[in-house]
Amino acid sequence: MSQRLAGKVVVITGAASGMGAASAKLLASEGATIIGGDVNAERLEAVASEVQAAGGKMVTLVGDISTKEGANALIAKATEGEGRLDVLVNNAGIMDNFEGVAKVEDQVWHRVMSVNLYAPMALSRAAVQWMKEHGGGAIVNVASAAGVGGGAAGAAYTASKHGVVGLTKNTAIAYAPAGIRCNAIIVGAVATNIMESINQEKIDQEAMAQFGKWHGVTPGQLQPEDIANVVLFLSLDESKMINGATVEADAGWMAH
Ligand X SMILES: NC(=O)c1ccc[n+]([C@@H]2O[C@H](COP(=O)([O-])OP(=O)(O)OC[C@H]3O[C@@H](n4cnc5c(N)ncnc54)[C@H](O)[C@@H]3O)[C@@H](O)[C@H]2O)c1
Kindly list the catalytic residues.
157
* 14 within 8 A of 43, measured Cβ to Cβ: no
Chain residues 32-91 in contact with ligand X, contact rule CB under 6 A: 37-40, 43, 64-66, 91
Q: CA-CA distance, 27 to 5, in Å (whole number)? A: 7
Hey, what's the torsion of the CAs at 120, 121, 123, 127, to 10 degrees?
120
In the set 20, 137, 149, 163, which binds ligand X (CB under 6 A)? 20
Interface mask toward ligand X for 83-102; x: CB under 6 A: --------xxxx--------
Provide the phi-psi class of 15: left if phi over 0, else alpha when psi is between -120 and 50, else beta: alpha
Nearer to ligand X, 31 or 81 (CB): 81
Nearer to ligand X, 65 or 126 (CB): 65
Nearer to ligand X, 76 or 194 (CB): 194
Question: Shortest distance, CB of residue 241 to ligand X, whole angstroms?
Answer: 25
Q: CA-CA distance, 26 to 39, in Å (whole number)? A: 21
Local structure of 72: helix, strand or coil: helix
Question: Shortest distance, CB of residue 71 to ligand X, whole angstroms?
Answer: 9
Chain residues 116-145 in contact with ligand X, contact rule CB under 6 A: 142, 144
Which amino acid type is present at position 83? G
Asked if 112 touches ligand X (CB under 6 A), the answer is no
122, containing H or E segment: helix 119-132
Asked if 115 touches ligand X (CB under 6 A), the answer is yes
Q: How many residues does the chain have?
A: 256
Which residues of the chain form contacts with ligand X (CB under 6 A)?
13-14, 16-20, 37-40, 43, 64-66, 91-94, 115, 142, 144, 187, 189-190, 192-194
